[in-house]
Amino acid sequence: MNRARLLEDQGLDHEAHIDAGEILARLREAVPLVQCITNSVVVNFTANVLLAAGASPVMADVPGEAGECARFASALLVNLGTPTSEQRQAMIEAVEAARDAGTPWVLDPVGVGALSLRTTFARELLAHRPAAIRGNASEILALAGEGAGGRGVDAADDVEHTRDVAVRLARETGAVVAVSGPVDLITDGEWTVRVPGGSALLTRVTGGGCSLGATAAACVAAALAEGRPALHGAVAAHALHAAASETAAAEWGGPGGFAVAFLDALAAIEPAALSARELRLEPIGGAAAAAR
C-alpha cells in the first residue's frame, strides 16, 4: 500500500500534515466539558488554562460523583500528582464510567517511577484504555517499565531516547503517547509527530505540564467529535501550548508575569496561527511498518 493511500485510509491528508488550527476552532465552537481529577497544587491554573483555551472545566474528583460526571463529560483527565486514597478511588470510578460511556480520557503519570505507589497505580489504570498518555521522558519510560523515573516531576531522560519505548507503549495500550520536552514527540504507534517550539518558562510555572494534560483531553474530544484520530487532538494541544508560551515569553522574562501572559495568549491565539505551524506525520519505520 502506498503512503498516500495509508494517509487517506487514516483520515489524513496527502501532505501528511495535521491542521491544529482546525482542532482549536472546533474546540471553541463545541466548548467541551473536561472533567479534571488532578494534582491539588495545580487545580486553579488547570481550570484557567481550559477556560482560556475555550473549554469548560469541572473539577469533580470525589468518590460518588466522579463516575457520574465522567459519563456526561466530553473528556476526562486523570493526573497522578497528588494521589490520595480518596482521589485514587475517584479515579477508578471515573475511568470505569468513562470506558462504559465512551468518554475519552487522558492519563498524566506525574512522578511515576520515582515513587512506587503511583507507579503501581498508573500501570493498573492502563487496563482501562486511556485515549492518550502525556508525560515527560522519564515518566513515559518508567510507565513502560524501562526506567526508574526522574527527580520527582523533573525529567532525567531525553525525549528522542524515549521514541521506541513510546511507540511500543502506544501499540500495547492503544493510546496516543505524548512525550514532553524541548521538542515534543507524539505517537500512536504507527505515526510520529514532533512539535517544536515553546518556552522553557513553562517549566518554571506550577501546572505548566499538568495543564497540558487537560488541554490534551479537550483537544482529543474536539478531534474525535470531528471524526479525526486522537493523535490529531494530542498534537493540537501541544502546538497550542507551544505557540501561547512563545507569545507570553516574548512579553515577560520571569515566571510570574509569564503565567498570566500565557493565559492571555491562549485566549488570543487564532486558529490560523496554529494551522501555519509545521506538524508533519512521520511513519514508524516507513510506510511498510505503518501498514502492519
Residue 261 lies in a domain: yes
Name the residue range of residue 84's domain. Answer: 13-285
Does a structural domain hold residue 184?
A: yes
Rounding to the nearest 10 degrees, give the CA dihedral for residues 150, 237, 100, 227.
-140
Angle, helices 210-225/43-53, rounded to nearest 10 degrees: 40
DSSP letter for 201, please. Answer: G
Q: Rounded to whole angstroms, how far apart are CA atoms 19 and 214?
A: 20
Number of domain units in the chain: 1
Q: What does 103-166 look like in DSSP terms, one character per residue? A: --EEEE-TTBTTBHHHHHHHHHHGGG--SEEEEEHHHHHHHTTS----BTTB--S-TGGGHHHH
Residue 5: inside a domain, yes or no? no
pLDDT tens by residue, 137-178: 999 999 999 865 544 444 445 688 899 999 999 999 999 999
Q: Is 59 annotated as a binding residue?
A: yes
Whether the model pTM is above 0.95: no
The Cβ of residue 89 has, within 10 Å, a number of other Cβ atoms equal to 14
- Residue from 152, 164, 148, 109 nearest 132 by CA: 109
Question: Does the pLDDT at position 286 exceed 50?
Answer: no
Average pLDDT, the chain: 90
Do the domain assignments include residue 130?
yes
The model's pLDDT over 176-230, given as tens digits with 9 standing for 90+, comes to: 999 999 999 999 999 999 999 999 999 999 999 999 999 999 999 999 999 999 9
Position 157 scores a pLDDT of 56
CB atoms under 10 Å from CB of 289, counted, come to 12
Q: Is residue 121 part of a domain?
A: yes
Any known ligand binding at 174?
no
Q: What is the pLDDT of residue 147?
A: 67
Q: In the predicted model, is pLDDT for residue 53 greater than 70?
A: yes
Q: Is 103 within the bounds of a domain?
A: yes
In the prediction, which pLDDT does 7 show? 45
> CA 6 to CA 114: how far, in whole Å?
39
Rounded to an integer, what distance in angstroms lies between the CA atom of residue 161 and that of residue 66? Answer: 36
Backbone phi, psi, residue 64, to 5°: 100, -30
Residues 6+ apart with CB under 8 A from 211: 42, 45, 46, 49, 50, 241
Q: Report if residue 7 sits inside a domain.
A: no
Pairing of strands 176-180, 184-187: antiparallel
CA-based nearest residue to 84, from 147, 131, 41: 41
- How far apart are the two ends of the chain, measured CA to CA in Å? 10
Give the up-direction half-sphere exposure of residue 187: CA atoms within 13 A in the CB hemisphere: 26
Tell me if 91 is assigned to a ligand binding site: no
> Is there a contact between 103 and 73 (Cβ–Cβ < 8 Å)?
yes
CATH of the domain at 42: 3.40.1190.20
Residue showing cell 504507534: 189
Contacts of 263 (CB under 8 A, 6+ apart): 48, 49, 52
pLDDT tens, 56-96? 999 999 999 999 999 999 999 999 999 999 999 999 999 99
Residue 291 maps to a domain? no
Residue 98 corresponds to which amino acid? A
